[in-house]
């Protein structure tokens, strides 16, 4: 288990005030959980990871791993990284080019205070090399490995020390697309088998959704939402998360009121009056932004069946993009352009009218943000 409380990390700059790279970062990763820090570049995710590793010294906060305090500003504790026993895989793999595959992997055991006997080290290293599929290359020069093999060696080196926490800093970003896909499964399998508490940093939402038990989305040094992959995608808590994860339609509107029977909110928007859902309470008479995923904007040529509670609208097909397995439709509803992801069997020509229906549960209302409102005004 890893718990991070009120973590702040700053960088000194040559001129001007220090950069606040991580601000009040707080989360808990239970034992065996694959926990991902996801965000655009410069959002502070790597800084947070390096602070957990001990490679950066935070300015305040506390970090605790399996009940052991490794950093605490109030208690004045800072355990140096080489005493934390956290395994880490670096973005550049950091494979030592002057060593063989075996000696790269055995290094953590060699530098230990109470060193194991040689035979035992060999056994442990070969076991972990076998787990990542490199046991047949043990005596090869590390520089002779391909990118994917170097990546697996870096993982082996982090695993051989039987770490309390496994830290992964964008480990897949230097691989080509095909290999990345393959390593994703590999990584997931190994993590699930060993049940290691893992902290993973990436800017790739696909990776995050595919691998994680839990995701913390970060922006500008802060965590803006924590949740399961499905929750993050389907129930974004704010405009940033909705925009950063996947593609979405934003529709601004006015909140009319709450419907006690359906537990839904009524909103008036440029595409009509809609029933929407919200996780946070809205204020009647206030503003809100709707996020509707393109695959939840259903298009039909026939009139929709009656019975189900649905938001309905009419539009005109403005543009289509054929992508093979799907067709992206740009549909004009009044002054608003909605993006819809449809099955290729839908062949409505450009300029034709089309019916739109949207499940109220998939129309997620996001409370208006003061910052976002200001940005929109500017």
Partner 1 sequence: MTSVGGIANPRGKVGAFPVEPRFLGMGAVGAAIAWLALVPLGFLFWQSFMTPRVGGRPAQFTLGNYAGAYSSPDTLPLLANSLAFAAGASLLALAVGSALAWINERTNTPFKSLVYALSVVPLVIPGILFVVAWIMLGSPKIGLVNLAFQKAFDADGPLIDIYSLPGMIFVDGLHYSPIAFLLMTSAFRAMDPSLEEAAMMSGASIGGIARRVTFTLAWPAVAASFLILFVRSIESFETPALLGLPVGIEVFTSAIYDAIHRYPSDVGLASAYAMTLLAITSFGVFWQSRMSSRGGRYATVTGKGFRPRRMDIGRWRWAAGGFFLLYALLVIGLPFLVLLWSSLQKFYSAPSWAAAKNITPKAYYAVLAYPNVATAIWNSVFLALSGATIVMLLTAVACWIVHRTKTRGRWLLDGVASAPLALPGLVMGLAIMVCYLALGGGVYGTIWIMLIAYVTRFLPYGMRYNSTSMIQLHPELEESAAMSGASWSLTFGRVVLPLLKPGLVAGWIYIVIVSVRELSSSILLYSPGTETVSVVIWELWQNGQYVELSALGVMLIAALFVFVVAAQAVSRQFGVREV
- Site for partner 1, rule CB under 8 A: 46, 50, 53, 55-56, 80-88, 90-98, 107-108, 111-112, 143, 147, 154, 157-158, 161, 167, 174
- For 108, residues 6+ apart whose C-beta sits below 8 A from its C-beta are 87, 157, 160, 161
Residue closer to partner 1 (CB basis): 112 or 136? 112
Consecutive H or E run containing 157: helix 147-160
Residue 133 Cβ vs partner 1, minimum distance, rounded to whole Å? 20
* C-beta of 13 vs 261, nearer to partner 1: 13
Quote the distance between the C-alpha of residue 124 and its chain's center: 33
Shortest Å distance, C-beta 244 to partner 1: 20
Q: How far is the CB of 50 from partner 1 (least distance, A)?
A: 8
**Shortest reach from residue 206's CB to partner 1, in Å:** 21
CA distance 255 to 343: 32
Place of tokens 């991070």: 4
Nearer to partner 1, 58 or 246 (CB): 58
Among left, alpha and beta (phi > 0; psi -120 to 50; other), residue 264 is beta
Structure tokens at 26: 């707080």
- Here the tokens at position 255 are 């909140």
DSSP helix, strand, coil percent of the chain (3-state; round to 5)? 30, 35, 35
The residue (of 25 and 154) whose beta carbon lies closer to partner 1 is 154
Closer CB to partner 1, residue 168 or residue 242?
Answer: 168
Rounded to a whole number of angstroms, the minimum distance from the CB of residue 111 to partner 1 is: 4
The nearer residue to partner 1, 27 or 90, going by C-beta atoms, is 90
Angstrom distance (rounded) from CA 92 to CA 315: 49
Least spacing, CB of residue 298 vs partner 1, in Å: 43
Q: How far apart are CA 66 and CA 68, in angstroms?
A: 6
CA 105 distance to own-chain centroid: 29
Minimal distance, residue 209 CB to partner 1, in Å:
23
- Give the integer Cα–Cα distance in Å for 67 and 43: 28
Tokens of 91: 């973005």
Q: Which is nearer to partner 1, 112 or 189 (CB)?
A: 112
Return the DSSP state at 83.
G
């Amino acid at each position: 288990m890893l718990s991070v409380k009120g973590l702040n990390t700053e960088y000194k700059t040559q001129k001007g005030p220090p950069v606040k790279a991580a601000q009040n970062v707080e989360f808990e990763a239970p034992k065996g959980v694959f926990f991902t820090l996801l965000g655009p570049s410069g959002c502070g995710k790597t800084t947070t990871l390096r602070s957990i590793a001990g490679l950066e010294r935070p300015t305040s906060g506390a970090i605790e791993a399996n009940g052991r305090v490794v950093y605490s500003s109030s208690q004045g504790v800072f355990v140096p990284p080489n005493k934390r026993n956290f395994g880490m895989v670096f973005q550049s793999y950091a494979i030592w080019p002057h060593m063989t595959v075996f000696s790269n992997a055995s290094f953590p055991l060699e530098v230990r205070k109470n060193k194991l006997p040689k035979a035992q080290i060999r056994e442990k290293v070969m076991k972990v090399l076998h787990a990542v599929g490199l046991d047949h290359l043990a005596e090869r020069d590390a520089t002779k490995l391909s990118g994917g093999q170097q990546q697996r060696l870096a993982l082996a080196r982090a695993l051989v020390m039987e770490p309390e926490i496994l830290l992964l800093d964008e480990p897949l970003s230097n691989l080509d697309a095909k290999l990345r896909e393959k390593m994703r499964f590999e990584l997931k399998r190994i993590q699930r088998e060993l049940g290691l508490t893992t902290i993973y940093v990436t800017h790739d939402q696909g990776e995050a959704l595919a691998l994680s038990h839990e995701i913390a989305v970060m922006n500008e040094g802060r965590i803006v939402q924590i949740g399961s992959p499905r929750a993050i995608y389907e129930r974004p808590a704010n405009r940033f998360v909705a925009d950063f994860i996947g593609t979405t339609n934003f529709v601004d509107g006015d909140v009319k009121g709450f419907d006690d029977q359906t537990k839904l909110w009524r909103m008036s928007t440029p595409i009509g009056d809609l029933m929407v859902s919200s996780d946070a309470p809205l204020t009647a008479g206030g503003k809100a932004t709707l996020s509707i995923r393109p695959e939840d904007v259903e298009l039909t040529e026939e009139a929709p069946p009656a019975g189900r509670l649905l938001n309905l609208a009419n539009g005109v097909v403005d543009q289509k993009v054929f992508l093979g397995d799907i067709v992206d439709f740009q549909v004009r509803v009044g002054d608003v352009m909605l993006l819809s992801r449809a099955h290729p069997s839908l062949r409505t020509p450009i300029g034709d009218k089309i019916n739109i229906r949207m499940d109220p549960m998939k129309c997620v209302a996001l409370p208006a943000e003061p910052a976002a409102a200001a940005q929109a005004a500017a």
